[in-house]
Amino acid sequence: MTNPARALTLGLVAHDRCKQALAAWTQEHQETLRPHQLIATGTTARLLSAAAPGLSIRAVRSGPLGGDQQLGAMISEGRLDGLIFLIDAMTPQPHDVDIKALLRLCILYEVPLAVNLTTASLMIGNPAFLSGDRHPAADPAPLYAAYASRSLSE
Ligand SMILES: O=C(CO)COP(=O)(O)O
Protein backbone atom coordinates (compact mmCIF):
# COMPACT_ATOMS: atom_id res chain seq x y z
CA MET A 1 0.00 0.00 0.00
CA THR A 2 1.19 3.50 -0.76
CA ASN A 3 1.37 6.19 1.92
CA PRO A 4 -0.12 9.62 1.26
CA ALA A 5 2.33 11.88 -0.55
CA ARG A 6 4.64 13.81 1.73
CA ALA A 7 7.66 15.97 1.25
CA LEU A 8 10.81 13.90 1.28
CA THR A 9 14.22 14.99 2.41
CA LEU A 10 16.69 14.23 -0.36
CA GLY A 11 20.46 14.58 -0.30
CA LEU A 12 22.24 15.79 -3.44
CA VAL A 13 26.01 15.52 -3.71
CA ALA A 14 28.43 15.54 -6.62
CA HIS A 15 32.18 15.53 -6.91
CA ASP A 16 33.67 18.35 -8.92
CA ARG A 17 33.79 16.64 -12.30
CA CYS A 18 30.18 15.47 -11.86
CA LYS A 19 28.70 18.76 -10.64
CA GLN A 20 27.65 20.14 -14.03
CA ALA A 21 25.84 16.90 -14.85
CA LEU A 22 23.96 16.99 -11.56
CA ALA A 23 23.13 20.67 -12.06
CA ALA A 24 21.66 19.95 -15.51
CA TRP A 25 19.69 16.99 -14.13
CA THR A 26 18.37 19.07 -11.23
CA GLN A 27 17.27 21.80 -13.60
CA GLU A 28 15.56 19.24 -15.82
CA HIS A 29 13.69 17.69 -12.88
CA GLN A 30 12.96 20.81 -10.87
CA GLU A 31 9.18 20.43 -11.01
CA THR A 32 9.43 16.94 -9.51
CA LEU A 33 11.98 18.06 -6.94
CA ARG A 34 10.22 21.29 -5.92
CA PRO A 35 7.91 19.86 -3.20
CA HIS A 36 10.78 18.12 -1.47
CA GLN A 37 13.40 19.32 0.94
CA LEU A 38 16.79 19.24 -0.72
CA ILE A 39 20.04 19.12 1.22
CA ALA A 40 23.36 19.37 -0.57
CA THR A 41 27.01 19.59 0.38
CA GLY A 42 28.38 23.14 0.23
CA THR A 43 29.80 23.51 -3.26
CA THR A 44 27.20 21.26 -4.84
CA ALA A 45 24.48 23.37 -3.19
CA ARG A 46 25.98 26.55 -4.66
CA LEU A 47 25.97 25.16 -8.19
CA LEU A 48 22.54 23.59 -7.98
CA SER A 49 21.00 26.76 -6.55
CA ALA A 50 22.42 28.73 -9.47
CA ALA A 51 21.14 26.16 -11.98
CA ALA A 52 17.66 25.89 -10.46
CA PRO A 53 17.00 29.11 -8.47
CA GLY A 54 13.37 28.12 -7.92
CA LEU A 55 14.37 25.23 -5.68
CA SER A 56 15.03 25.58 -2.01
CA ILE A 57 18.32 23.82 -1.36
CA ARG A 58 19.82 23.78 2.12
CA ALA A 59 23.58 23.61 2.23
CA VAL A 60 25.57 21.66 4.76
CA ARG A 61 29.36 21.97 4.84
CA SER A 62 31.43 21.11 1.84
CA GLY A 63 31.99 17.35 1.58
CA PRO A 64 35.69 17.31 2.51
CA LEU A 65 34.97 19.73 5.39
CA GLY A 66 32.40 17.49 7.08
CA GLY A 67 29.37 17.71 4.79
CA ASP A 68 29.38 14.02 3.96
CA GLN A 69 29.42 13.27 7.67
CA GLN A 70 26.54 15.69 8.29
CA LEU A 71 24.46 13.76 5.75
CA GLY A 72 25.55 10.52 7.42
CA ALA A 73 24.36 11.85 10.76
CA MET A 74 20.98 12.65 9.22
CA ILE A 75 20.75 9.06 7.96
CA SER A 76 21.53 7.62 11.38
CA GLU A 77 18.78 9.84 12.82
CA GLY A 78 16.25 8.73 10.19
CA ARG A 79 16.11 12.20 8.63
CA LEU A 80 17.17 11.45 5.04
CA ASP A 81 14.80 9.67 2.65
CA GLY A 82 17.16 9.26 -0.27
CA LEU A 83 20.59 10.24 -1.53
CA ILE A 84 21.81 11.08 -5.01
CA PHE A 85 25.59 11.00 -4.91
CA LEU A 86 27.59 11.36 -8.12
CA ILE A 87 31.03 10.04 -7.29
CA ASP A 88 34.05 10.75 -9.46
CA ALA A 89 35.45 7.25 -9.86
CA MET A 90 38.60 8.49 -11.62
CA THR A 91 39.90 11.02 -9.11
CA PRO A 92 41.30 10.25 -5.65
CA GLN A 93 39.46 12.20 -2.96
CA PRO A 94 41.15 13.45 0.21
CA HIS A 95 38.06 12.54 2.23
CA ASP A 96 37.65 9.03 0.87
CA VAL A 97 36.91 7.72 4.36
CA ASP A 98 33.96 10.14 4.66
CA ILE A 99 32.58 9.05 1.28
CA LYS A 100 32.81 5.39 2.28
CA ALA A 101 31.18 6.14 5.62
CA LEU A 102 28.25 7.90 3.93
CA LEU A 103 27.73 5.03 1.49
CA ARG A 104 27.99 2.54 4.34
CA LEU A 105 25.25 4.29 6.30
CA CYS A 106 22.98 4.21 3.24
CA ILE A 107 23.50 0.45 3.13
CA LEU A 108 23.07 0.03 6.87
CA TYR A 109 19.85 2.04 7.06
CA GLU A 110 18.36 1.00 3.70
CA VAL A 111 18.38 4.55 2.38
CA PRO A 112 17.66 4.62 -1.37
CA LEU A 113 20.93 5.60 -3.04
CA ALA A 114 21.62 6.66 -6.62
CA VAL A 115 25.23 6.92 -7.73
CA ASN A 116 24.40 7.80 -11.33
CA LEU A 117 21.76 9.87 -13.07
CA THR A 118 20.03 6.90 -14.63
CA THR A 119 19.24 5.56 -11.18
CA ALA A 120 18.43 9.04 -9.89
CA SER A 121 15.81 9.43 -12.61
CA LEU A 122 14.36 6.01 -11.84
CA MET A 123 14.21 6.95 -8.17
CA ILE A 124 12.38 10.22 -8.51
CA GLY A 125 10.19 8.86 -11.31
CA ASN A 126 8.87 6.14 -9.05
CA PRO A 127 5.55 7.12 -7.37
CA ALA A 128 6.14 4.62 -4.56
CA PHE A 129 9.46 6.28 -3.72
CA LEU A 130 7.96 9.77 -3.84
CA SER A 131 5.09 8.76 -1.60
CA GLY A 132 7.54 7.61 1.06
CA ASP A 133 6.57 3.98 0.63
CA ARG A 134 9.35 1.57 1.58
CA HIS A 135 9.80 -2.17 1.49
CA PRO A 136 9.03 -3.64 4.94
CA ALA A 137 12.61 -4.91 5.12
CA ALA A 138 13.74 -1.28 4.94
CA ASP A 139 13.21 -0.79 8.68
CA PRO A 140 16.63 -1.61 10.10
CA ALA A 141 15.60 -1.27 13.75
CA PRO A 142 14.76 -4.95 14.36
CA LEU A 143 17.92 -6.00 12.56
CA TYR A 144 20.20 -3.96 14.75
CA ALA A 145 18.33 -4.08 18.06
CA ALA A 146 19.98 -7.39 18.93
CA TYR A 147 23.40 -5.94 18.10
CA ALA A 148 22.81 -2.80 20.18
CA SER A 149 21.73 -4.79 23.24
CA ARG A 150 24.31 -7.59 22.88
CA SER A 151 25.91 -8.95 26.01
CA LEU A 152 29.55 -8.03 26.49
CA SER A 153 30.15 -10.33 29.43
CA GLU A 154 32.24 -13.46 28.89
O1 LIG B 1 33.10 16.15 -1.78
C2 LIG B 1 31.92 16.01 -1.85
C3 LIG B 1 31.29 14.73 -1.51
O4 LIG B 1 32.19 13.72 -1.12
C5 LIG B 1 31.06 17.11 -2.29
O6 LIG B 1 31.34 18.26 -1.60
P7 LIG B 1 31.06 19.67 -2.25
O8 LIG B 1 29.67 19.64 -2.76
O9 LIG B 1 31.24 20.67 -1.17
O10 LIG B 1 32.07 19.82 -3.36
Over the stretch 75-132, which tens digit does the pLDDT of each residue have? Answer: 999 999 999 999 999 999 999 999 999 999 999 999 999 999 999 999 999 999 998 8
Domain presence at residue 91: yes
Domain presence at residue 56: yes
Could you write out the DSSP letters of every residue in 122-154? Answer: HHHT-HHHHTT---GGG--HHHHHHHHT-----
Known catalytic residue at 88: no
Domain presence at residue 2: no
Domain presence at residue 26: yes
Domains in the chain, number: 1
Q: How far is the CA of 153 from the centre of ligand 1 (A)?
A: 42
Domain around 128? 9-148
Domain presence at residue 113: yes
Q: Which residues line the pocket of ligand 1, CB cutoff 6 A? A: 13, 15, 41-44, 62-64, 67-68, 99
Tell the residue nearest (CA) to atom 2 of ligand 1. Answer: 63
Domain presence at residue 57: yes
Is ipTM beyond 0.90?
A: yes
The domain spanning residue 73 has which CATH number? Answer: 3.40.50.1380
Q: In this predicted model, what pLDDT tens digit does every residue of 45-82 receive, in sequence order?
A: 999 999 999 999 999 999 999 999 999 999 999 999 99
